[in-house]
Structure 1
Amino acid sequence: MLDAIGQVLPLAVVVALSPAPIIAIIVVLLGADAGRRGTALLAGRVLGVVLVVAVFTLFAEAIVLLGMPPLLEAILQLVVGLVLAIVGVRKLVRRSATTTSPRWMTSLEGISAGRAFWFAVVLSIANPKELAMGAATGLVIGGLIPEPGPALAVALVYTVIAVLGVAAPLVTVAVMRERAAPVLTAIRGWLERNNAVLMAILLLVFGAILLGQGVSGLA
């Protein structure tokens, strides 16, 4: 189990630092009814992360039960890692200096709690980068841990860390109240200006992690 935690921990950190969900929760928290809408968005984020990990954990377990080659997981990690590294390099090369907020960010300003919940779910399962991170985690859990108890424990560790990027601003508002607004506004502006570079770095780091795990699996 410790080996699995060691493999999924850096993946969870990369998910937690993903700029888009952090910007989303900040936009929601700076609007009206921040507490209820922010809590709904966090709940949706948790559900989305759990769903992705669960699906790919079951997929990895099916691979083991069907007696398919163990190298398949390593090959998948190599392929996904290479793709993410290439996308990261392209983002870094093609980054723009625009400071215009994407339409999805501005649409969150007046979003309801129910829509915030489902937006967070979709953000976690439909974003290719988020999907790849959860898929890699599921493959590790399903491939290394046959017992349900330890598998659930590793999945819980991953989920808790992965949603910290969304949970931290919510806790900040609960503690600081109105004093949190200037801080969140400054963080939002910085993330919007540096979103492309941050995402490129995350993709490169995550791609390198997967490539390393894939090479280790082949060895």
Structure 2
Amino acid sequence: MPVREASSRVEIGDAMGQALLTLIPLALAAALSSVPITATIFILLSESRGRSGLSFLAGTVIGTFATVALAAVAGHALPGRPREHEALVGKLEVVIGSALVLLGVVTLARRSRAGSGRGPRWLDSLGTVGILPVFGIGLALNLRPKAILLAAAAGLAIVGVDLGFYDNLGLVVIYTAMATCTVSVPIVATILFPRRMEPRLLSAKGWIAAHSSTVGATMMILIGAFVIGVGVTG
């Protein structure tokens, strides 16, 4: 019995490690997304940054967790026997990876045409719309094409290793924590150290306006190619 338990633990550990190797790049791509980072900075530079920041953080975390969890549940519901199910997951990963690459290329093309201008106008009034609307915006940002594709890829990565419920839940939590760290860390740091963070937020706002779209699009292309590779190799 001890030998069997030890071997099963090794198998679970290997599967968990395999899932993390796929999830971490996806979570980093989500974390480096320019829209939630820019929204966070605009909120933190507003007068109601404390309440609005926490509300936006709650919406972002809940929305990210929900989308990945739903993607994993949908992945488990895919039809077919184990081998057929595995092959279907691989094909879906190739499709999602291709969509990420295409989205990244389109974003780069639009960026080169538009130049380095400003972000969306709705960001200017983000700190004055109230707590509930900010919470809703945090939820809604997880419905962007990039966020949905990354969540779908993460859900398939979780499904592909065939772990138990609590292991799957742990993977969803890990992905959520990493994907939202660029929102959670600035918000918590600004609430704790507002004077120190304000000049950093102002400088970050300028840098993001100039470079974040290019960085995010390039990251999308690389992650899309990675997801395609995972789907092809199985």
TM-score (norm 2): 0.86
Answering whether residue 119 of structure 2 is matched by residue 101 of structure 1, we say yes
Matched, 1:72 2:100: no
Shift of 1:65: 6.9
Letter in 2 for 1:190: W
Shift of 1:100: 2.6
Matches within 5 A, 1:30-109: 30-63=45-78, 68-95=84-111, 96-109=114-127
Aligned residue for 2:38, secondary structure, equals: helix
Q: What is the number of residues matched between the two proteins?
A: 216
Say whether 1:138 aligns with 2:185: no
CA separation in 1, counterparts of 2:171 and 2:79? 18
From 141, 144, 147, the counterpart of 1:127: 144
The answer to whether the Cα contact below 8 Å between 2:33 and 2:216 also exists between their aligned partners in 1 is: yes
C-alpha contact 1:59 1:142 (8 A) present in aligned 2: no
Larger radius of gyration: 2
Deviations 1:23-56 (A, max 9, x none): 1111011111211110110110011111111111
Choose from 166, 173, 180 the match for 1:163. Answer: 180
Distance in 2 (CA, whole Å) between partners of 1:200 and 1:127 is 14
Query: Structure 1 residues 83-92 or 25-34, which shifts more?
Result: 83-92
Match of 1:202 among 219, 227, 232: 219
Task: Please say if 1:17 is aligned against 2:32.
Answer: yes
Distance of 2:217 and 2:173 partners within structure 1: 27
Is 1:3 aligned with 2:3? no
Q: CA deviation at 1:134?
A: 0.6
- Secondary structure at the residue paired with 2:77? helix
String of CA shifts for 1:98-121, please: whole Å, max 9, x gaps. 423312211313121111111000
Cα separation, partners in 2 of 1:63 and 1:101, compared to 1, 3 Å: closer
Aligned pair 1:179/2:196, yes or no? yes
1:214 & 1:104 partners in 2: Cα distance?
37
Quote the RMSD (CA, aligned, Å): 1.7
Which ranges in structure 2 are unaligned for 5 or more consecutive residues? 1-15
Other-structure match for 2:12: none
Matched residue type, 2:184: A
In structure 2, do the counterparts of structure 1 residues 205 and 53 end up closer, same or farther at CA, with 3 Å as the change threshold?
same
Give the TM-score, by structure 1 length. Answer: 0.92
The 8 Å contact of residues 34 and 213 in structure 2, kept in 1 or not, is answered as: no
Letter in 1 for 2:118: T
1:212 corresponds to which residue? 229
Tell me which amino acid in the other structure corresponds to 2:160.
Answer: G
Distance (whole Å) between structure 2 residues aligned to residue 31 and residue 65 of structure 1: 52
> Percent identity of the aligned residues?
32
Please give the per-residue CA displacement for 1:165-208, whole angstroms capped at 9, x wherever unaligned: 10121122133212311110110121112232122112112211
Paired residue type of 1:11 = L
Unaligned 5+ residue runs, structure 1?
none
Specify the code of the residue in structure 2 equivalent to 1:100: R
